[in-house]
Structure 1
């Protein structure tokens, strides 16, 4: 994520936005180190300083690492309310619903993610949609979704692997 995108969100004082950005970066570092409780606290402080869709989404992601999927989904809904154009929380809700075994419900969220105007990784919801279709036994739809993920990102290793595995299993 780009600092400029973060700082341009919403109204507020510049110093509050910069503090929120610094707290967000610290939270992300802690999250990647597996220090999840500390990451949660830092994301919440970032949101207190200046609420952003990214901070809500990443707080949700941290909750998902902790197995707290309903709270993760709730944070994604807050992110969408903050910035409906931001694609990540739509995809994340779908991914969390897959984890909960709610495949049909997940499809809607991946399709919403595909329509988002601001999304750094637009191939992700296509791969995830392919995963759902594959679980449902909809092989042609799954193959098409994996191919679309690769059309958006030809270097997407997981999409290549998923497509190759599915095609070879059908032969």
Structure 2
């Protein structure tokens, strides 16, 4: 059982990191996430630290943090999707697919539409438009107001005309 005071402080630093990151202070966010992890490692803190690194263009570091997040909590879906996205950014489409598939079935994952959108992006780049349309429609079935998926779907449909 973790020390409740230590856990509470770790949660504070994780939330502070998120606040700093969303306000544009990446270095402050990285410091706060790192402090959170030192106090009590969580999948969320590792994933968000990876996210901050990705905004700095440090994709390999971001992937390492997501891998650490998965070690802490293999049921947390965000790091699987994020690794998929980072691999897409590196142009490693085939390598991204299994990570996105794992995000789709993760036990603890709220934005389930993201990996379907990202899989759609991979399939478009591979010229597999019909499959991409299916994934994008799935993203929209899950989250009908997901504008990015709607735009991507219209783009793909336009390629078929």
Query: TM-score if structure 2 supplies the norm length?
Result: 0.98
- In the TM superposition, residue 154 of structure 1 has moved relative to its aligned partner by 1.0
Instruction: Determine which of 136, 156, 160 is the counterpart of 1:166.
Output: 156
- In the TM superposition, residue 93 of structure 1 has moved relative to its aligned partner by 0.2
Instruction: Determine which of 58, 78, 92 is the counterpart of 2:48.
Output: 58
After superposition, the CA RMSD in angstroms is 0.8
Runs of 4 or more consecutive aligned structure 1 residues displaced over 2 Å after TM superposition:
none
Q: How far apart, CA to CA, are the structure 2 residues paired with 1:54 and 1:168?
A: 38
| Counterpart position of 2:147 | 157
Q: How far apart, CA to CA, are the structure 1 residues paired with 2:140 and 2:149?
A: 6
After superposition, the C-alpha distances for 1:82-117 in whole angstroms (9 at most, x for unaligned) are 000000000000000011110100011000101100
Mapping for residues 85-164 of structure 1, pairs under 5 Å:
85-164=75-154
Instruction: Count residues with an aligned counterpart.
Output: 161
Gap runs ≥5 in structure 1: 1-10
Query: TM-score if structure 1 supplies the norm length?
Result: 0.92
Q: Single out whichever of 23-32 and 58-67 deviates more from structure 2.
A: 23-32
